[in-house]
Amino acid sequence: MEELRLMASARSVGRAVKVGGKELKVIAAAPAAFDGLDLAFFAADGAIARALAPEAVQRGCLVLDKSSAFRMVADVPLVIPEINLEATRGHRGIIASPNCSTAVALMGLWPLHQAFGVQRAFFSTYQSVSGTGAEAVEELEAQVQAHVRGELMPRKVYPYQIAFNAIPQVDSFGADGYTGEESKMREESRKIMNLPSLKVSATCVRVPVVRAHSVAVTAEFERPVDLARARAVIAEFAGAELTDDPSKSVYPTPLDYTRKVKCGVGRLRRDSALDNGLSFWVSGDNLWKGAALNSIQIAEAMIREGIALTPSR
Amino acid sequence: MEELRLMASARSVGRAVKVGGKELKVIAAAPAAFDGLDLAFFAADGAIARALAPEAVQRGCLVLDKSSAFRMVADVPLVIPEINLEATRGHRGIIASPNCSTAVALMGLWPLHQAFGVQRAFFSTYQSVSGTGAEAVEELEAQVQAHVRGELMPRKVYPYQIAFNAIPQVDSFGADGYTGEESKMREESRKIMNLPSLKVSATCVRVPVVRAHSVAVTAEFERPVDLARARAVIAEFAGAELTDDPSKSVYPTPLDYTRKVKCGVGRLRRDSALDNGLSFWVSGDNLWKGAALNSIQIAEAMIREGIALTPSR
């Protein structure tokens, strides 16, 4: 028997949502609600994931979690199916989906790593406000509306005005001067690509874009890089779309990669500061590949490859 | 006798402009108009600079040019007065002012170079539309107005919508895949800091910010870096303001560094991917330090230091 249950907090209980032509009522997320389910897609914050994921697992359910709660836990696979689907074998009931900026950046970096062996990566992000949540999208819109009316801009979510500005802070600061987002890009890249000593440095910046994150990537490789081969491996990679024709001003932009399954990779060039270096630009939908879509792709790929959904004991 | 002449193209001739309480009429920019002047501040495009600067020089006038026409010419000093004022000694009548992104980036990089010896620098820019010109500022505004009215956005200046977007192209593309702006950041950084073999890689991106450019900089140094000393040298440097208290979300933003003489430097941290590396963020007014203000500062510093305005023969 097939059954889909939509769960949310008390605030949304009873709301009707149409899924595949059928109207479903939202029920309360609670331990017992997971009884009898095979798969649960968690798209809540870390605290809720920590409280409910073990309950779901106890009830025989595989949890695909998009929060940061379990990503760096040793026995939890952190997965981008185009990269490390094999890591899902032998899971213990929870599989984590990566941070949005990391997912987008690796859609370009992984195929290049396969070809040339990445040693070091520098990321500068151009992140959309939807990564912060619905209230941040509303804040940007309200600020733009106020600007047009010549009124003072309301400000609540971000520490600075985001309309017509750039804020070099995503998440809170650690003792090393890096933000949580920047540390995630380092740690999660290492775990997903299984390169524990990969050198990564990130600067994460919020820009007045509604949706889709972009990342300027400069990477140093073990082996000499060949630009034609680099373009070919990007074009062949399932998670990426090669959008790269500088002579015609063809490259990805966040607007063009909003609501796209694949991430766009362009501006590929030999790096002018590194011997075996490549620089590129990647744009991808932070709410799709950077979030729930990746969880769905994990489940689809596991089923397709016959990987057990029930946890190994 | 002191005299100020305002020159422009035919379109603006006759316009009245108030300068220091006195109303001046704009006259036509033409060779003879430079007769008798000591100093000429050029803020026109490269073609006009190439046509008129030699004429002004022939008439005994020192030209401070903010276009890119002469920046890389061997006997033309390319100057940021806080960095290489000495290069103005022995000028031949033209002194060039650097590209806007380069000027802003070096306000952070130069003092760090003085302390630790820069070897390699990676720049990712977040550039405002005013760098393109008044028509680009109008385009962003028109797009935002159209968005609020729910209308289609007009587009003329940029190849893609700039409102709510990020465009990874500033200037046209070269054969190496770098844009003109990116190559300028490399070549001009080398010339200004007198480091002809400095390794530089840049990615230049236009963002929906009206004014002030920002640059995420990651740099590798010859000597071990000390964070306290790095902060101190930035704070002591005449061209920079240290705006760096992560615990209070204090760092520069382009809005805060609009119409500021100094550039703001913050987010200073030991780089996590380089042995002797530092990363930082700098915001500065592309229309001030990135343009005309720097030319004025060159002239002021030359007069203050008693450097001859008349060309050496």
Nearest Cβ partner for B164 among A176, A210, A249: A210
Catalytic residue among B61, B91, B113, B213: B213
| CB atoms B273 and A121 under 8 Å | yes
B100 is catalytic: yes
Q: Are B67 and B105 contained in the same domain?
A: no
Nearest Cβ partner for A126 among B166, B227, B268: B166
| CB atoms A177 and B269 under 8 Å | yes
Q: Are B251 and B132 contained in the same domain?
A: yes
Residue B140 has pLDDT above 60, yes or no: yes
Q: Are A90 and A233 contained in the same domain?
A: no
| CB atoms A246 and B173 under 8 Å | yes
- CB of B242 closer than 8 Å to CB of B107: no
Nearest Cβ partner for A272 among B201, B209, B214: B201
Which pLDDT value is given to residue B1?
55
DSSP A292-313: IHHHHHHHHHHHHTT--SSPP-
Does residue B310 sit within a domain?
Answer: no
- List of chain B residues whose C-beta atoms are within 8 Å of the C-beta of residue A186: 272
By C-alpha distance, the chain A residue nearest B272 is A201
Which pLDDT value is given to residue B205?
98
By C-alpha distance, the chain B residue nearest A283 is B166
Does residue A75 sit within a domain?
Answer: yes
Does residue A206 sit within a domain?
Answer: yes
Q: Are A275 and A295 contained in the same domain?
A: no
Instruction: Write out the two tokens for B115.
Output: 């302390």
Q: Are A107 and A235 contained in the same domain?
A: yes
Angstrom distance (rounded) from CA A19 to CA B196: 62
Per-residue pLDDT tens over the stretch B20-68: 899 999 999 999 999 999 999 999 999 999 999 999 999 999 999 999 9
Q: How big is the A-B interface in CB pairs under 8 Å?
A: 168
Q: Are B163 and B274 contained in the same domain?
A: yes
| CB atoms B120 and A273 under 8 Å | yes
Per-residue pLDDT tens over the stretch A40-59: 999 999 999 999 999 999 99
Does residue B1 sit within a domain?
Answer: no
In this prediction the ipTM stands at 0.96
| CB atoms A209 and B255 under 8 Å | no
What residues make up the domain containing A90? 7-98+291-304
Compute how many other C-beta atoms are within 10 angstroms of the C-beta atom of residue B232. Answer: 14
Q: Are A24 and A161 contained in the same domain?
A: no
- Mutate: best of A147, A198, A207, A242, partner B, most B CBs <10 A: A207
Name the average pLDDT for chain A. 96
DSSP B268: E
Per-residue pLDDT tens over the stretch A96-154: 999 999 999 999 999 999 999 999 999 999 999 999 999 999 999 999 999 999 999 99
Instruction: Write out the two tokens for A203.
Output: 């600067």
Beta bridge partners of B302: none
Beta bridge partners of A41: A64
- List of chain A residues whose C-beta atoms are within 8 Å of the C-beta of residue B254: 165-166
Domain containing residue B118: CATH number? 3.30.360.10
DSSP B230: H
Per-residue pLDDT tens over the stretch A125-136: 999 999 999 999
Per-residue pLDDT tens over the stretch B75-115: 999 999 999 999 999 899 999 999 999 999 999 999 999 99
Q: Are B83 and B173 contained in the same domain?
A: no
- Mutate: best of A201, A221, A226, A276, partner B, most B CBs <10 A: A201
- Written as one letter, the residue type at B8 is A
Segment holding A52, helix H or strand E: helix A46-58
- List of chain B residues whose C-beta atoms are within 8 Å of the C-beta of residue A173: 246-247
Q: Are B113 and B249 contained in the same domain?
A: yes
Does residue B2 sit within a domain?
Answer: no
| CB atoms B200 and A272 under 8 Å | yes
Nearest Cβ partner for B126 among A144, A205, A253: A205
Geometric angle at alpha carbon B46, from B42 and B51, rounded to 5°? 75
Q: Are B17 and B136 contained in the same domain?
A: no
- List of chain B residues whose C-beta atoms are within 8 Å of the C-beta of residue A187: none
Q: Could you tell me if residue A140 is left (phi over 0), alpha (psi between -120 and 50 degrees) or otherwise beta?
A: alpha
Which pLDDT value is given to residue A311?
82
| CB atoms A277 and B205 under 8 Å | no
Per-residue pLDDT tens over the stretch B190-213: 999 999 999 999 999 999 999 999
Does residue A138 sit within a domain?
Answer: yes
Residue A1 has pLDDT above 60, yes or no: no
Total domain count for chain B?
2
- CB of A180 closer than 8 Å to CB of A172: yes
Nearest Cβ partner for A144 among B148, B218, B254: B148
Q: Are A184 and A214 contained in the same domain?
A: yes
Does residue A310 sit within a domain?
Answer: no
By C-alpha distance, the chain B residue nearest A197 is B273
Percent of chain B with pLDDT over 90: 97
Does residue A194 sit within a domain?
Answer: yes
- Mutate: best of B267, B275, B278, B283, partner A, most A CBs <10 A: B267
- The predicted model gives B254-263 an average pLDDT of 98
Q: Are A135 and A253 contained in the same domain?
A: yes
Which residue numbers of A are catalytic? 100, 213
Domain containing residue B92: CATH number? 3.40.50.720
